[in-house]
Amino acid sequence: MIDQVQSNSSGWMFFVKASFGIALFAMLGGIVLSPIDFIVKAYFSLCALFLVSSTITLSKTMRDQHESTRIMNKISEAKTQQLINEYGE
């Protein structure tokens, strides 16, 4: 069983990075240009930073959980295949 590695195209990687950069720039621009006190801008900036870091952590954790499930399934399939090969002989 050969397992293929899935890879994203360079166009998709550019789109994802550009979308993130544009969204981050727009959010920061909105905070900086809003007509509110500095302390409120600082609070919104910290909230935005925490939201971005939490989103990255969440997506990484979900990816890791999915990958571990795939590995456990592969181990289970390999054990099953080994049992079938043993009893098939």
Instruction: Express each pLDDT in 7-34 by its tens digit.
Output: 778 898 899 999 999 999 999 999 999 9
What are 51-74's pLDDT values in tens digits?
999 999 999 999 888 888 877 777
| Cβ contact 45:31 at 8 Å | yes
Cβ(24)–Cβ(52) under 8 Å? yes
Claim: this prediction has a pTM higher than 0.75: no
